[in-house]
Each structure stands twice: as C-alpha cells, then as structure tokens.
Structure 1
Amino acid sequence: MTRDPSAEPPLVELPPPPGWVGRVLNRVEAVGNRLPDPLTLFALFALAMPVLSWLAVQSGWSVVHPVSGKTIEAFNLLTPEGIRRMLTEAIANFTGFPPLGIVLVVLLGIGVAERSGLIAALLTLSVTAVPRALVTPTLVFTGVNASVAADAGFVVLIPLGAVLYLGLGRHPLAGLCAAFAGVSGGFSANLLITSLDPLLAGFTQSAAQLFDPAYQVAPTANYYFMAASVFLLTGLGWFVTERIVEPRLGVWQRPTGFPDPPSADLSARERRAAWIALVSFVVILAVFAWQGLAPGGLLNGENGDLKPLFQSLIPIIAIAFLVPGLIYGALTGSIRDDRAVAAMMAETMATMGAYIVLAFAAAQFIAYFNWSNLGIMVAIAGANFLKGIGLTGIALLLLFILFAALLDLFIASASAKWAVMAPIFVPMLMGLGYSPELTQAAYRVADSFTNVIAPLLPYFPLIVVFARKYEPDLRLGSLLAAMLPYSIAFGLGWSGLFVLWYLFNLPLGPGAPLLYVPR
C-alpha cells in the first residue's frame, strides 16, 4: 500500500473543555501522575498484602458469612504456611491470571490481521461508510454491547478505537478512551442476553430463596432496563468524549519513529481483498454460532445451553481474525509464506512484553488479596453496616449503588462481589418490599461505572500499554483523569435512569417486577 502524506486527514483541534472542569481534571492528573509506574504500584500492593493480613489477624477482626454462617477470619500471609504458598504458587498465579491468556490468544489472530494490512483496510472502509459525526457514538455503542463476547472487547475494540481516531486525524487516545468507556463502564448493559445475565441471576435466586424458598429469578430479569441503558450510555459517552475528553487532550503529537498512517485510499486489489476477508469473518462467526445454537451442535451443551459456546469465545475470536488476515495477506501479497505469518505473530507478542511483566505483579497481588480473605471481609462488613443504618426507599437503593461502586474499585469481579452481597441485600430488600430483580439491577449499575477508574481492574494495565503506543510517557494519572468524566457521567446518568424506572414502576424484564410480592 503506497502512502501519500498529502492525503492524510488533517488533525482536528477542538475548543478546550469548560474552565473549572479542565482545572479539576488537571489536578487529578497531577496527583495521579505522582503515583509510581503501574508495575511498581502492583508490586507495592503485593508486598503490602502480607503486612495487612498480619495486622488484621492481630486485631482479631472477623465476620460471619451470610449464607454458611461460618466465621471468616483473615489469613496471615506472614506465617510459614503463607510464605511457602506465596513462593510455591507464584508461577501458577501468573499462568492462571485470567486476562493474560485471553490477551495473548486473541492477539495471535489480531496480530496477523493487523500486520497483513487487513485492519487498516477495514478501518478505511468503515471511515468512509460511517458519517464522521457518528463515529464516536458508533464506537461507544459497539463497546457497550461488546460484553456479549465476554472480555474480548478489552483486547479487540479498545486498540481499534485508537486506530480509528488516528485515521480520522483525531487524537488516538480519545478513541481509546471512548471505547474503554463503552466496553468497561457499560459492561452490564447490552441489547442481547450475555453470559453475565444467567450468572448473576443464579446468585440472586439463591439469595432470594433464603427469604422465599419458591422464588425464581430468570436470566432475563433485567433485560428491559439494561437494553434501555445501552442508548443512555451511548449518548453520555458521546457527549463526554467530544465535549470534555478530546478537547482536553488537544492535538496529538506524533512520537518520534511512529509509523505513518495508511493511505486514505485503497487500491482495487486491496478493496476486493478486504471485502473477501470481511465475508470470511462473517462466515466464520456464523458457523460457530450455528454450532452453538443448533441442537446437537459441537458447541451446544448437553441440555441445550450455550455454555460451551461462551467458553470457546476467545479462540473463536482469534480464528475469526486469523483466517481473514491470512486471506487478505495472500490476496494482496503482504503474506507470501508461512514464515511471514510466524514473524507477524512473533512481532505481536513482542509488543506485549510490558503487559506480561505487569501481569506477573498484578497476578501476585490479586492472589495474595484473595488468600488473605480481606476482600470478602470488607464486603460483608460494609454490607452489614448498610443493613444496620435503617434507611429505606430511594435513599437506601442509591446508597447501595454507591457502596457497591466503591467496592468495585477493589474487587473487580462482578460475580465474586455479588456472591457475597446478594445473600445480605436481596433478602433484606425483599423484607422491605423490593424485588430481587430490582436489587440486582441496582447492583449491575454500580458494578460497571467505576471500572474505568479502577487501577485494580485486571485489564487496566493492558489499557496503559495500549495508550503508551501513542503517548510513550503517559502515566497512570493522565489515564485516570481522562476516564474520570466518563465514570461520573455514567454513574449519575445511570443512577438517574434507575430512579426514574422505579418511580414510573416500569418492568425490569419479562415478568420482573420492581416490588416483591410473595408468589
């Protein structure tokens, strides 16, 4: 593909954000940038956990699990047993770190698609197909719905958002932030039922049956509310990106040695190859979907469930990028033999060196945190506090959202938090007349909007690595300052929608009421 510098789109310069907003974000960035490098930060957290676990044990702190009734105490990591475990399981912590495998497997396919020129070609086609004014809402909308592919959106869509904005002559970090806001800040919302819906519904039903043994919670319990939330979050993400984040970032300065963007024009050969590759992408996804949905299909469960399909999404996505990349490369001549493919994969893995190092430190910290029991103890203690303060109505529901959102800064897993919180809050709110479905909806709002400012989110180090491709000196504070407006807007807007849904007594999903009525 030839490059014509004169054909490159001009950089877009937008007016700065409102003065007080800019000053607040600048202050957040300055304070955040004083923090150590993310690698050092996770290493310090990991070193601090044994000390904190020792202090918790020395204080005699304990809590009672709401389901089992067992007393939970902190595990002292500074005992011989704890030290031995930290040493003997260090490798298992690293290799078993969930985001690591997802990132590396998906990037095997994406690396070929990118280095063959396919992704640049498809982005060029998409830029011409989507009006420039709708690029941001399209990106955020796609990000919000990306949770249908579990965590793959973090690996696939977020870096593509940066590349898309770069091709339009806009700041690539604005595209990265918009995609990150959609994928992570809107993780619970979707126009489709995802694997998260039956997972949370199972915990909610078990908790509800502590109060009403016959109560059933369907996977579609929050579908109407979550589908409506997609459009709210798309609008909020659009506004924040174009009125606050992108103007504040200013004009992007190309780092020394950064490769030139691809030409805005595709040759007839490249265009034909891109369309053939795109068709192959759709066909591959359709075949796998058929094998998952059709009774007796390879990815259809014994009882007709979609669990095998959901568990296979990561390799499916890798294949769905690899094969079209091979086709495009073969048709355009960018791939001439198997050595070229191997080199493309190796080059992609080489760019992940910084993330692999970060993942090692993050994996140790998260393992120590789980072993110490401090996470679940904080969750139970905080839930018991909310239960005992005596609030009711909207005030209690909003305080519950705030508590769950703050807890999300420390415990990223939606299911892990809900496994602890559901047995406390679902029966408690049923006793006050609120349905389990309503409590679950409130939790799903809270579990999403603080993801984008949670440094302990397993994918946050990956986002830092993606961002440093365009801003090599970027520090944690700069990314947090860029994402904070999304978190605030999503939190206020989504909580407001929740309140309106409650006040107008709208159904949360098929047969899912707001108020609890014994069945």
Structure 2
Amino acid sequence: MSEAAAATVGSQKGILGWIERTGNKLPDPVFLFFWLIAGLMTVSILASLAGWSAVHPTEIDETTGVATVITAASLISAENIQRLWVEMPQTFTHFHPLGYVLVVMLGAGVAERAGLFGTAMRAGVRGAPVSLLTPIVVLVGMMGNLAADAAYVVLIPLAGIIFHAAGRHPIAGIAASFAGVSGGFSANLLPGQLDALLFGITEAAVETVFGDFTANIAGNWYFIAAMVVVFIPVIWYVTDRMIEPRLGKWNPAMAGSAAPEEASDRDLTAEESKGLKLAGLAALFVIGLWLAFTLGPGTPLINEDATPEARLTPFYQSLVAGFFLLFLLTGWAYGKAAGTITDHRSLVKMMSESMADLAYYLVLAFAAAHFVAMFAWSNLGLILAVHGADALSASGLPAWALLAAIILLSGVLNLFIGSASAKWALLAPVMVPMLMLLGISPEMSTAAYRVGDSATNIITPLMVYFPLILIFCQRWQKDFGIGSLAATMLPYSIGLMVVGIALAIGWVVLDVPLGPGASVFIEVPGQVSAPVATPPAS
C-alpha cells in the first residue's frame, strides 16, 4: 500500500475506523482457532463438571427403548487426550473440505496459470455496448469467482480502463466489478471451488451430530444462479444512478503517479482466440462425458437399486471430480493453443504451483479441523444444537425469520473475520445441526450463510483485497482513501443485503429446491423416535 493510502487507513475514524482497529486486534485466523480450542477446552471442563446434557435426537437404547442422553465430555479426559495425539493425522486428512478443495484446485490452478480465466474475462468485457457495460462487467465478475484471485487481479483494474475508454468514470467501473466479484462472491451460474469448500465444512458439521452424511456440492446451484439474477440489477442501478453521478466527471489531473494503462486492454491474439474455442470444445466434451455416465449404458453415476431420493447420490458425489476434469481439460486446451502450455511438464508444474498457493489454506485447515473435531468430542455441539433448537421452536419464529437472522449475523461477523471458510467453520458446528432439528436442511443453512458473507465483503477494510482495490482506485484518483472506498461500496452492500434476505425469505416461503436433490426443508432427525425420549413411567 502507498504511504498516502497507509496514512488514510491509519487516520480512519467513525464506525469504519472502529471496525478496522477491532479487527486488527484479532489474531490471524489460524491462531484464532487455536485460541478458540483453548477456550473450548475450558468450557468443556466446566460443562462436564456442571453435568450439561441433552437427549440425542436420533439414538435410542435398543434394550430399554429410551433415547440416549448425551453429556458434556471434558477435553482433558484421558480418552480425549489420547484421541487428540493418536488421531491427529487422521483428524487433519479426514477434514472434508481439504480433499474437496485440493481436487478442484488441481484443475482450476491449470486453467488460471494457462491464462484461460484472464483471457475469458477480458473477452467477456471488451467491446461491450456502453449501455450494457455495467451489467456485463458485473456478470463477468461473478463468473470470475471460479477463477479465485484472477478476478481481483485481472478484471477489476481492467474494468476501470474499459469504463474510461467508454467515456465513463473509471472508479465507477472498479466499484461495479468489485461489487460483482466480491459482493457477489457466492453468486454464480456454476458451482465451483467455494461450493466444495463450504459444503465440506457443512458435511463435517452434520456428521458431528447425526453421523454419516455426504455433501452435494451442487446443493446451492439454483440458489446461487438466482443470486446472479437478482444481484445484477441492484449493482447496475447503484453504479449508474448513485455512484457514477456522485463521482462526477473524471478529471485526468486527479490521476495518481502509476499509469492506469498498465493493465492491458489489448485485442485478443489469434492464439488466444483459438484457445478459447478449444476450451469451449473441451468443456462440451466433459459435459457430454458426464451425461453419458449418468444416462448412458450401465448408468455408473446412478444407483438403480436405491430409493428415488438417493438414486442420484453417485452423480452428486462425482461433481468434485467433474469440476477438476472440466478445469483441467479446458485449461490444457487453451494453454496448448495460446502457447502457455508447451508440454506435459509445464502442465504438471502448474498443478504443483496451484498446490503451493494453498499452503496457507492447509495450515488453516489443520487448525479448523481440530477445532471442529474437538467440538464434536466434547458433545457441546449436540447439546447446544438441541437446546438451541428447543428455544427457537418455543419462540415461534418462522423459518424465514431464523434464516434472515443468520444472514445478518454472518454479515456482521464478516466485518471482523474475512475468511469465508474460517467463519463457516466457527458457525456451522452449532448452526447446521440446530436448524436441522427445526427441519431446515443443511443446504439452506449454507445458502443463508453465503448471502450474509458476500454482502459485507466490500465494506470491511479487513477483506484481504481491500488495500489492492484502494490502490487500483488511487491510480485514477490519487486522494481516494479507504473512507472513500468504503463510502462508495456501502450502497452496494446495503442493496445486496436487502435483496439477498428477500431472496432467501422468498425461497423458504415458496419452498423452491436449492439445487438438484436439495430442498429447503427436511424431515426432523429423530422426529419419529421423539415419544420415547423420556423413560416409561413404570
């Protein structure tokens, strides 16, 4: 960050300054989990001594016919200490999000490093009609989330150049693309890396209470596609009717020392155009392959012997591998045509580098995996979920109100903890089982969290790319500070939060499927066995 930007950040006052100062006092998310584990151990000891307990919603003693009572377990008991040290490798490697993310990123890393994602985003926004420039930039930004960091690094500065070339204020282009990429972080027409990450955590949260559960990473597909449809008009309106008029006409004298033209707006080369065509053919090949596996002879991705509800389970479970192959083959096809992949060794190198980029995530996953596992060992997740569900049920609040509250909670928490996976790993162990006990599916809980997490990304100075966006803006307006950026993005955040909550409420009220095989409501676990939760009077 430049000295001017740093000074602006340091002098920030008001609510944004308080958020920044408070958030900066929090430890790194890795150490945050270690501190939470220490606190969890203390609570588990006190809960065990106090005799905290709850009736398990699904387990019944076969001998007595009485539902099992689960009591809080101390994490410093001999059994749990042994489990911690003996099962440490297993606790880490069996953390569901880890495998999901590693597999998808092996393919996505190739597509990103080969240049497919960057070229596709450039091709998507170049030459767009001026009247449709904003929605096209926003849509490409949302789709660019499949490219992870590339959307921030490539599209956002490019949007400023394209708006400037169209005679519009460049910072309006940066704001619109930032809102699309980060404010619409979960909005997409396709599931991707984020779905694999979040549903891995959701799967682990369900299993801490209810045992085996297989996450469907397409479980929010329809919902996140709907987010695209409702978010684009909001960002379009805010950009064209609120932000750009407020910015006024851009004055070249206001530009910073760094030349904005550093980001390339050149025409696509013949090799790049050919690469995009071949990547499209590769994508069609992968889609056709999965259709053949699902509908063709033998139907390997359909369990013909299962109940109707479970017949497509193998298909859902295969989607992680499907996205790996999709990204790998499209990236390879593009790279061979564009010259960024020369042989199989460069392909392997790209895959290796994508794993290197996940080094920090691996450290975070190690800490998060142990927090989630130890939370399960203490039985506190089940106890809090059961009693929390009882309290919420007694409150009489409808499902839509509960989910709206979760969205707001996620949005507020996002102001202080930027990592989407870290926040969900904190919330999911209690929230997901608790809502399941109220008949709300894990997929709906995950969808509600995603709405809140996305909406406030663009107004917190703790968001990892916030300083980078500030620098992009200062290329065009040297006195543009962190307060200016936060004030510019605040209308987007409010708009996205309002329509996101409205979308979630409408989804619940209408009971629309969230994705293939994923509904809003589920049968309450243990509902059938509830009458035997109390021992017979005799």
* TM-score strictly above 0.5: yes
Name the CA distance, whole Å, in 1 between partners of 2:470 and 2:29: 15
Aligned to 1:94: 92
After superposition, give the CA deviation of every residue in 1:376-413 in whole Å (9 maximum; x if it has no partner). Answer: 22222122123334x4xxx6555533565588777658
Are residues 1:336 and 2:342 paired?
yes
Give 1:75's aligned amino acid.
A
Aligned to 2:70, what secondary structure does the other structure show? Answer: strand
| Residues 231 and 496 in structure 2, CA contact (< 8 A), matched pair in contact too | yes
Offset at residue 118 of structure 1 (A): 2.4
Aligned to 2:41: 50
Offset at residue 96 of structure 1 (A): 1.7
Aligned to 2:402: 400
Name the CA distance, whole Å, in 1 between partners of 2:340 and 2:188: 37
| Residues 185 and 451 in structure 1, CA contact (< 8 A), matched pair in contact too | no
Name the CA distance, whole Å, in 2 between partners of 1:343 and 1:74: 48
The number of residue pairs the alignment matches comes to 423
After superposition, give the CA deviation of every residue in 1:44-64 in whole Å (9 maximum; x if it has no partner). Answer: 122322222112112222222
Could you say if the C-alpha distance between residues 185 and 491 of structure 1 is closer, same or farther in structure 2, counting changes exceeding 3 Å?
farther
1:318-397 matched pairs, under 5 angstroms: 318-389=324-395, 391=396, 396-397=398-399
Are residues 1:32 and 2:23 paired?
yes
Name the CA distance, whole Å, in 2 between partners of 1:227 and 1:39: 32
Q: Which residues of structure 1 form unaligned runs of 5+?
A: 1-20, 144-152, 204-221, 427-435, 456-462, 515-519
Are residues 1:231 and 2:222 paired?
no
Could you say if the C-alpha distance between residues 51 and 513 of structure 1 is closer, same or farther in structure 2, counting changes exceeding 3 Å?
closer
Could you say if the C-alpha distance between residues 254 and 336 of structure 1 is closer, same or farther in structure 2, counting changes exceeding 3 Å?
farther
Aligned to 2:83: 85
- Which residue of 121, 124, 138 corresponds with 1:123? 121
Are residues 1:70 and 2:71 paired?
no
After superposition, give the CA deviation of every residue in 1:114-151 in whole Å (9 maximum; x if it has no partner). Answer: 222222222221122654311354257659xxxxxxxx
- Which residue of 302, 305, 326 corresponds with 2:304? 302
Aligned to 1:64, what secondary structure does the other structure show? Answer: strand
Give 2:55's aligned amino acid.
V
Could you say if the C-alpha distance between residues 316 and 95 of structure 1 is closer, same or farther in structure 2, counting changes exceeding 3 Å?
same
Aligned to 2:528: none
Name the CA distance, whole Å, in 2 between partners of 1:173 and 1:280: 33
Name the CA distance, whole Å, in 2 between partners of 1:416 and 1:311: 25
Offset at residue 414 of structure 1 (A): 7.1
Give 1:43's aligned amino acid.
F
| Residues 112 and 331 in structure 2, CA contact (< 8 A), matched pair in contact too | yes
After superposition, give the CA deviation of every residue in 1:399-440 in whole Å (9 maximum; x if it has no partner). Answer: 5335655887776587985554344x35xxxxxxxxx9xx99
Could you say if the C-alpha distance between residues 397 and 267 of structure 1 is closer, same or farther in structure 2, counting changes exceeding 3 Å?
closer
| Residues 143 and 188 in structure 2, CA contact (< 8 A), matched pair in contact too | no
Aligned to 1:107: 105
Name the CA distance, whole Å, in 2 between partners of 1:329 and 1:229: 32
* Farther off after superposition, 359-368 or 333-342: 333-342
Offset at residue 81 of structure 1 (A): 0.8
Could you say if the C-alpha distance between residues 183 and 84 of structure 1 is closer, same or farther in structure 2, counting changes exceeding 3 Å?
same
Name the CA distance, whole Å, in 2 between partners of 1:496 and 1:421: 19
Could you say if the C-alpha distance between residues 239 and 418 of structure 1 is closer, same or farther in structure 2, counting changes exceeding 3 Å?
farther
Could you say if the C-alpha distance between residues 466 and 488 of structure 1 is closer, same or farther in structure 2, counting changes exceeding 3 Å?
closer
Are residues 1:161 and 2:162 paired?
no
* Farther off after superposition, 409-418 or 126-135: 409-418
After superposition, give the CA deviation of every residue in 1:25-45 in whole Å (9 maximum; x if it has no partner). Answer: 443233212211122212212
Aligned to 2:342, what secondary structure does the other structure show? Answer: coil
1:230-309 matched pairs, under 5 angstroms: 231-236=229-234, 261=263, 264-294=266-296, 296-303=298-305, 305-309=311-315
Name the CA distance, whole Å, in 1 between partners of 2:520 and 2:368: 41
| Residues 303 and 313 in structure 2, CA contact (< 8 A), matched pair in contact too | yes
Aligned to 1:421: 435
Could you say if the C-alpha distance between residues 313 and 160 of structure 1 is closer, same or farther in structure 2, counting changes exceeding 3 Å?
farther
After superposition, give the CA deviation of every residue in 1:224-283 in whole Å (9 maximum; x if it has no partner). Answer: 999866633444566678978xx99xx99999xxxx755532222221222122222222
Could you say if the C-alpha distance between residues 113 and 377 of structure 1 is closer, same or farther in structure 2, counting changes exceeding 3 Å?
same
Offset at residue 78 of structure 1 (A): 0.7
Offset at residue 489 of structure 1 (A): 5.0
Aligned to 2:26, what secondary structure does the other structure show? Answer: coil
Query: Once superposed, what is the RMSD of the aligned Cα atoms?
Result: 5.2
Aligned to 2:416: none
Name the CA distance, whole Å, in 1 between partners of 2:382 and 2:491: 29
Name the CA distance, whole Å, in 1 between partners of 2:456 and 2:52: 26
Give 1:266's aligned amino acid.
L
Q: Normalising by structure 1, what TM-score?
A: 0.64
Aligned to 2:52: 61
Offset at residue 493 of structure 1 (A): 3.6
Name the CA distance, whole Å, in 2 between partners of 1:136 and 1:289: 31
Name the CA distance, whole Å, in 2 between partners of 1:224 and 1:267: 36
Name the CA distance, whole Å, in 2 between partners of 1:494 and 1:173: 19
After superposition, give the CA deviation of every residue in 1:417-469 in whole Å (9 maximum; x if it has no partner). Answer: 5554344x35xxxxxxxxx9xx99986774543344899xxxxxxx9778898
Give 1:39's aligned amino acid.
V
Give 1:109's aligned amino acid.
G
Identity of aligned residues (%): 31
Q: Normalising by structure 2, what TM-score?
A: 0.62
Name the CA distance, whole Å, in 1 between partners of 2:299 and 2:394: 51
Name the CA distance, whole Å, in 2 between partners of 1:325 and 1:308: 26
| Residues 303 and 312 in structure 2, CA contact (< 8 A), matched pair in contact too | yes
Aligned to 1:13: none
Q: Which residues of structure 2 form unaligned runs of 5+?
A: 1-11, 60-66, 161-170, 207-219, 248-253, 414-422, 472-481, 514-518, 522-538
Aligned to 1:7: none
Aligned to 2:46, what secondary structure does the other structure show? Answer: helix
| Residues 161 and 179 in structure 1, CA contact (< 8 A), matched pair in contact too | yes
* Farther off after superposition, 118-127 or 411-420: 411-420
